[in-house]
Amino acid sequence: MYGNHYILLLASALAAGLGGCAGPVETHIRSEGVGVAGVTPLMWAPEPEGRADTPMTGEMKDIVASALHKKGFRFVDSAPVMVMAGLAERPAAIAVEGEAGKAVSRGKRQRLFQNCRDRTMRLRISMTDSATGEVLYIGEAQEAHCHAQMRQVLPRLADRAVEDVTAPGRSRQTFSFARD
């Protein structure tokens, strides 16, 4: 009888773990460009005329600025490098293709015992020379999540999207334990 309780407890723990909200999260990271030195002052690219930041855009800018600050950057009103950031969320099962059918973002299949559909959350940061318009850096990070909300994921995406800012040119995946 003692063995049956152990099996029941183990089965319950396993079911909770498989259907739970935390687990390994895969982050896809890509960067390109010549890079930007960590002492270069930055400024946000101006919004189009008549368009104001939404609350989410303002929050995204604060989080991206914080990630760049950790890398040694500072924001000023007028700077030699402009920063732009874009945030997107879509069903994870949808793949996105770029030039010549090359996958920009692969579709993700639902895991066994998963109790909801994943959404892919993607952050893209670009830095351009304010005088010439030359793109100096593009950094992207994306993750698929079932339960986590964008506000929970955004700080990790921002840190990953700027990881290579001084030496871009890599694509990779990392794993972390976070809310799925």
Q: What averages of pLDDT result for each successive group of 10 residues across the chain (180 residues)?
A: 46 44 83 93 90 87 97 96 94 73 62 70 96 97 88 95 96 82
d(CA 16, CA 3): 20
With respect to residue 15, please indicate whether it lies within any of the assigned structural domains: no
CATH number at residue 73: 3.30.160.670
By residue range, what is the domain housing residue 33?
Answer: 25-171
The upper half-sphere exposure of residue 152, i.e. CA atoms within 13 Å in the direction of its Cβ, equals: 13
With respect to residue 18, please indicate whether it lies within any of the assigned structural domains: no
With respect to residue 4, please indicate whether it lies within any of the assigned structural domains: no
- Give the global pTM: 0.78
The total number of structural domains in the chain stands at 1
With respect to residue 10, please indicate whether it lies within any of the assigned structural domains: no
d(CA 160, CA 103): 20
For residue 117, the one-letter residue type is: R
With respect to residue 1, please indicate whether it lies within any of the assigned structural domains: no
